[in-house]
C-alpha cells in the first residue's frame, strides 16, 4: 500500500508539472507595441530623475540641499563619530593616562579594557560638556528650528570644537604640522585647516598624556626598587619583586585616594 501511495503521488506531481508547462507555453507573447505604449505611459507620468535628490539655488546665490541629501550627509557623518570622539575630544588623553596607570600598578587586566574605555568615555562627556552645549545651542537647535541652513549649521558647530582643540594644542606642534603641510602662517581671524589642526592636537594630547603618566609612574617605580633591593639583600632571588610590591602599591594608591587625584588632575588639565 505504501508503494502504491508513493507511486500515485509521483504520478500526480508529474501530471501537475506537465499541465503548468503547457499552460505557460500556451500563453501568447506580449506584443512590442504594448511594451512600447506602457513605457511611453510610464515616461509621461513619472518625471525623469530623482526629484528627492536635488540642489536649489537661492536668490542670494547660496544653495539649499533637499532633505534627502541632508539626511544622507548626516548618516554618512555618523560613521565618523568614533574617529571624531577619539581624535577631536579629550578621549585620547584620558584613555592613555588610565592605561599607563594600570601598567604602573602592575595589574595587567584590572581594570579591564572595557572599564577603562567606558570610564574614559564618560570622563570625555564630563570634560566636553561645555563645548557640546555650545554646539547644541549655536548650531543644532537653530537648525532644528529651521533658523539655519544645513551648511551654515555645520560651519557654526565646528567653531567651538576648533576653539577647544586650539586651546589644548601646543604652538610648536601646530607650527611643525603647518610647516610640513606647506601652510602659511594663519592671520588673525583666519581658521586653521582641520587637516593641520587635528594631527597637531592629537600629538599634543599624546605628549601631555605621557607627561602625566610619567608622574604617575615615579612612586610605583620607587616601591618596586625598594622591594627589589630588600629581596636581594635577604637572598630571596627566586621570588618575583612584582608579586611582593603589588600589595604595597595598591595600599599606597588607596591611602592617597589615587582615583580621585587622577580624575581631578585629568579634568583640571583641560582648564576646568
Are the C-beta atoms of residues 261 and 212 closer than 8 Å to each other?
no
Q: Does residue 38 sit within a domain?
A: no
Are the C-beta atoms of residues 160 and 191 closer than 8 Å to each other?
no
Q: Does residue 12 sit within a domain?
A: no
- If phi over 0 gives left and psi between -120 and 50 gives alpha, with beta otherwise, what is residue 107? beta
Above 70 in pLDDT, residue 258?
yes
pLDDT top residue among 47 and 211: 211
**What confidence category does residue 55 fall into, taking pLDDT thresholds of 50, 70 and 90?**
low
Least confident of 26-30, 79-83, 113-117, 236-240: 26-30
State the residue range of the domain holding 192: 55-268
pTM: 0.67
Q: What is the pLDDT of residue 29?
A: 44
Above 80 in pLDDT, residue 41?
no
What percent of the chain is helix, strand and coil (3-state, nearest 5)? Answer: 75, 0, 25
Q: Does residue 257 sit within a domain?
A: yes
Q: Does residue 158 sit within a domain?
A: yes
Q: Does residue 15 sit within a domain?
A: no
State whether residue 55 is helix, strand or coil: strand
**What confidence category does residue 146 fall into, taking pLDDT thresholds of 50, 70 and 90?**
confident
Distance CA 143, CA 133 (A): 14
In 3D, which of 236, 152, 166, 225 has the Cα closest to residue 194?
166
Q: Does residue 35 sit within a domain?
A: no
Domain count, the chain: 1
Amino acid at each position: 500500500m505504501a508503494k502504491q501511495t508513493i507511486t500515485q503521488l509521483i504520478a500526480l506531481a508529474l501530471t501537475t508539472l506537465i499541465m503548468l508547462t503547457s499552460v505557460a507555453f500556451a500563453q501568447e507573447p506580449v506584443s512590442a507595441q504594448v511594451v512600447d505604449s506602457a513605457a511611453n505611459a510610464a515616461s509621461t507620468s513619472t518625471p525623469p530623475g530623482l526629484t528627492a535628490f536635488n540642489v536649489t539655488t537661492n536668490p542670494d546665490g547660496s544653495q539649499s540641499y533637499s532633505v534627502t541629501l541632508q539626511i544622507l550627509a548626516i548618516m554618512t557623518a555618523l560613521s565618523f563619530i568614533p574617529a571624531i570622539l577619539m581624535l577631536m575630544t579629550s578621549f585620547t588623553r584620558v584613555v592613555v593616562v588610565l592605561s599607563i596607570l594600570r601598567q604602573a600598578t602592575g595589574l595587567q587586566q584590572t581594570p579591564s579594557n572595557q572599564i577603562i574605555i567606558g570610564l574614559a568615555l564618560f570622563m570625555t562627556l564630563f570634560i566636553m560638556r561645555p563645548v557640546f552645549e555650545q554646539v547644541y545651542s549655536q548650531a543644532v537647535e537653530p537648525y532644528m528650528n529651521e533658523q539655519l541652513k544645513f551648511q551654515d549649521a555645520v560651519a557654526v558647530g565646528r567653531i567651538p570644537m576648533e576653539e577647544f582643540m586650539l586651546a589644548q594644542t601646543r604652538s610648536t606642534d601646530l607650527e611643525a604640522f603647518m610647516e610640513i603641510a606647506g601652510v602659511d602662517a594663519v592671520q588673525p581671524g583666519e581658521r586653521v585647516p582641520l587637516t593641520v589642526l587635528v594631527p597637531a592636537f592629537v600629538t599634543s594630547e599624546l605628549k601631555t598624556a605621557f607627561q602625566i603618566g610619567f608622574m604617575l609612574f615615579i612612586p610605583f617605580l620607587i616601591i618596586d626598587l625598594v622591594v627589589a633591593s630588600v629581596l636581594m639583600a635577604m637572598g630571596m632571588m627566586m621570588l618575583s619583586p612584582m608579586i611582593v610590591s603589588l600589595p604595597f602599591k595598591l595600599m599606597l594608591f588607596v591611602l592617597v585616594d589615587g582615583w580621585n587625584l587622577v580624575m581631578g588632575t585629568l579634568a583640571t588639565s583641560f582648564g576646568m
